Every structure is written in structure tokens, then in C-alpha cells.
Amino acid sequence: MGFVFDPPEVFRDMGAEILLFDEEKESIEVRFPVQARYRNPMGVMQGGMVVAAMDNTYGPLTVLLGTTSVTTHINTTFVKPVARDEPYIIITARVTARSRRHLHLTGEVRDSRGTLVVSGTASFMVLETHDPESA
């Protein structure tokens, strides 16, 4: 991988692994193991943990694109549960629109068979843009 990313503790705690970062397409793909401690009483991955995984995909994308930003909005649509025997989920996120002060992203969560389980959008307020030439 040709990029530098120092992940936050929560990213590491969730066992996340960046599979792909495409700066030109402004997209990222991250795999998260479905840990037993993240399951609800029905045995499926608890919805809040899926959203946390999504936020842990959106955020790193904004960092890798050279911004310091904060989440202002996350919208999530649950299509089907993350099954009890699911070993991992893969989240793909990409920038759909950006301005000097805002980033808008879409995301999809797929199970290990490639089935869509969750989709969503997120908005970020850009606090600072980092110029790699000035570093």
C-alpha cells in the first residue's frame, strides 16, 4: 500500500483492515471481522456496531484524502441482518460530492458472499485541509 495511515484506537479495536484505497476515485474498502462481542441477543451483528464500522470507514477515507473533518450526519439503511455465522463484513465508501468545507460520502456494507446488507450516506465538515507539499 502506498499510503500512510495511523489508525485511531477504535479502528484497531474493531480489527479493521484497509483492503483498498483509491485516491483518484476517492474511495476505500475496509474489512471488519464480525466479533462475537458485537452480536445482539439474536446472534446477529448489532446495528450500532455496523454503523460504528461504517464511521470507521468514512473517517479514514477523509483523512487519507488530506482533511481533518468531523462527521455531521450519518444515514443508514439496513437491508438484512449480518448473519450469526458471518466471519467478516466489507465496507466500501466513496466521495460523492465535496466543497471546501464539506464532504459527502456513500457506503455499502457487504457480507463475505458479497451480499448487500447495509447502505448509507455520511456528511463531514472539513475543519482543515492538509497540503502534502507543505509537509
The larger pLDDT score, comparing residue 2 to residue 37, is at: 37
DSSP state of 45: B
pTM, 2 dp: 0.90
pLDDT digits (tens, 9 = 90+) for 47-106: 999 999 999 999 999 999 999 899 999 999 999 999 999 999 999 999 999 999 999 999
Cα–Cα distance measured from residue 68 to residue 88, given in angstroms and rounded to the nearest whole number:
28
> How sure is the predictor about 7, in pLDDT bands with cuts at 50, 70 and 90?
confident
Question: What's the CATH class of domain 9-134?
Answer: alpha beta
DSSP tag of 46: P
